[in-house]
Structure 1
Amino acid sequence: MTNEKIAVLVDSGTDVPVEITNQEGVYTIPLQIIYKDAVYKDKIDITPEEVYARLSQEIPSTSLPDGGQILAVLDQIKSDGYNKIIAVSISSGLSGTYNILRLLAEDSDLEMFVLDSKNIGIGAGLQAIHAYELIQAKLPFNDIVHKLKREVSKTTLYFNVATLEYLQKGGRIGLVSSIVGTALRLNPTISCNEDGIYYTVAKTRGRKKSLENLLKLLKADIGQHKNYRIAVAHGDALEEGEWVRSLVQETFPEAKEVLFGTISPALVVHTGPGLVGLGVQLFD
């Protein structure tokens, strides 16, 4: 429809690559990182490296985007001439961001659909990227909403962390089973279930094997699909992340693209250093 001008709104925990968030019509609301002496806006006032550097002194907490900031962004979207919004949030099972956006949407004079990605990090970001692509393809708003809803289950993120300490301390452990006896070197592979809550997909002995197992899980998901996008994410694990990316490129040459990037400061708080993740998005 010619009278539709649609914006994309994401929270910073979706880890949408900067080349997309810098595009016209894409807006980001930052999560908050809370230290005893200060509150920082995710990706604006603080970097992942700064969070890592301070973890030995203090593990901060995170919070929803500030309501006033969200309203300011909505006002900006309206003043920029947009009349409809596709908002994509990290899982409602892991954050209250989805609910606050949904409530604000009810009071907004802009038509706004909020997608609960049931995912975290680039797993949610892949869905936001697709929303942007559908808008660029000039699909009607209602068609985009229908398509995004249908495709939530077709995007999956698997990740390994060096330790469960940060997920436990941050209260984000979800259904991930605790592993007793680190001498066994059992590395959990974590994903989000249909409710968007963390759970253990596999336990592998040894870090290298656990990373290789990420590709096996991806291969099973992709199956005979010919149209898909893959993302590789890392948190203070650049060398391992690059190694996994090279394996992905060799194993899945038909991928539409292979994205690569670091996780946001807000996610660093809950995973600590040493995260490596793989996300896949399947298309019809």
Structure 2
Amino acid sequence: MANVRIVTDSTADIPQELRERYNIEMVPLKVHFGNEMYQDAVTISPDQFYEKLAQASKLPTTSQPSPVEFLEVYKRLHAQSPDCAIISIHLSAAMSGTYQSALLASSMLEEEEVDVTVIDSKSASFGIGVYVLEAAKLAQAGYDKDAILARIAQLQQEQKLYFLVDTLEYLQKGGRIAKASAMLGTLLNIKPILSIDKDGEVYAVEKVRGQKRLLQRVLEMYKEHFGNQPVDVGVGYSTEKSTADTVVAELKSQFDVRSIQYTRIGAVIGTHVGHGTVAVFVRPAAPDPEPLNS
């Protein structure tokens, strides 16, 4: 049976219960409130983060893991199982240096012949999480590295994602949009539908006036892409689960939804999108992988 271990970072926003169930290693990014530093999903939970964010006078900052942090994980996994292959899947390189840190760590192990493949997800939040979970399920079922990498590449082509933000404030402070655009959008109740392009960068797909029309338009775009085929859905939210529930109800009414996974948007991604954000990740439905014979 193949022996593959899956590593990711905290921006994949995978619930702890799923990380433990599928034996996923997670390296945290960090969020900084002034002189206070927290490890995303380790020493600060989403609830704690959004409470601190609401009280903060200044937007927090974020930082990537060092190559040494990845190196320690790769060495530990190799020591546990010297014949294992490691697949390490990370936040878009266009958004963070996390991928580069992991890549540098893997290069330090070449002489020791540790098999590490580092992947730029070109995505964020549960957009990464979907790839990681699928990879981990295949690994548990006994699939080899090449089969898992092929499935990740397929998912990268198939998955569509849209982010709906409640306020433009965090995008503006993070340098994603100009201050004048943020002020005008707030005054006119104009909200962007955001996605991530093939290069892994956030962009505005459309700008819509009003929350109701915003959701309606997202559903229309998903319908244009997936038609009537069965789909699997991931829904991430920062603070308002009721909004996520509304999105899920609408998806169920218009699509053949085979599975739904809720997740919270954690501290690092939350720093850049803020409260009230909902992210919807849709892909063609697929059954869990059949275990291979050992």
**Match of residue 256 from structure 1:** 258
User: After superposition, where does 1:167-182 map in structure 2 within 5 Å?
Assistant: 167-171=171-175, 173=176, 178-179=181-182, 180-182=184-186
- Mapped contact 1:153–1:194 kept (Cα < 8 A): no
Secondary structure of the structure 2 residue equivalent to 1:256: strand
- Mapped contact 1:174–1:197 kept (Cα < 8 A): no
d(CA) in 2 for partners of 1:167, 1:200: 11
Deviation at 1:145, TM superposition (A): 1.6
**Match of residue 76 from structure 1:** 76
d(CA) in 1 for partners of 2:59, 2:27: 22
- Mapped contact 1:240–1:276 kept (Cα < 8 A): yes
Deviation at 1:148, TM superposition (A): 1.8
% identity of equivalent residues: 28
Deviation at 1:131, TM superposition (A): 1.0
- Mapped contact 1:189–1:202 kept (Cα < 8 A): yes
**Match of residue 220 from structure 2:** 216
d(CA) in 1 for partners of 2:257, 2:126: 16
User: After superposition, where does 1:117-156 map in structure 2 within 5 Å?
Assistant: 117-156=121-160
d(CA) in 2 for partners of 1:211, 1:243: 9
Secondary structure of the structure 1 residue equivalent to 2:257: coil
- Mapped contact 1:123–1:280 kept (Cα < 8 A): no
Deviation at 1:140, TM superposition (A): 2.0
d(CA) in 1 for partners of 2:164, 2:186: 15
- Mapped contact 1:161–1:188 kept (Cα < 8 A): yes
d(CA) in 2 for partners of 1:223, 1:169: 37
**Match of residue 64 from structure 1:** 64
Shift in CA distance, 174/106, structure 1 to aligned 2, threshold 3 Å = farther
d(CA) in 2 for partners of 1:181, 1:78: 51
Alignment-mate amino acid for residue 9 of structure 2? D
Compute the TM-score of the two structures, normalised by the length of structure 1: 0.90
Alignment-mate amino acid for residue 234 of structure 1? Y
Q: Could you list the per-position Cα deviations for residues 83-127 of structure 1 after superposition, in whole angstroms to 9, with x for gaps in the alignment? A: 211111111111111111122112223211122111110111111
- Mapped contact 2:70–2:101 kept (Cα < 8 A): no
Alignment-mate amino acid for residue 9 of structure 1? V
**Match of residue 41 from structure 2:** 43
**Match of residue 101 from structure 1:** 102
Compute the TM-score of the two structures, normalised by the length of structure 2: 0.87
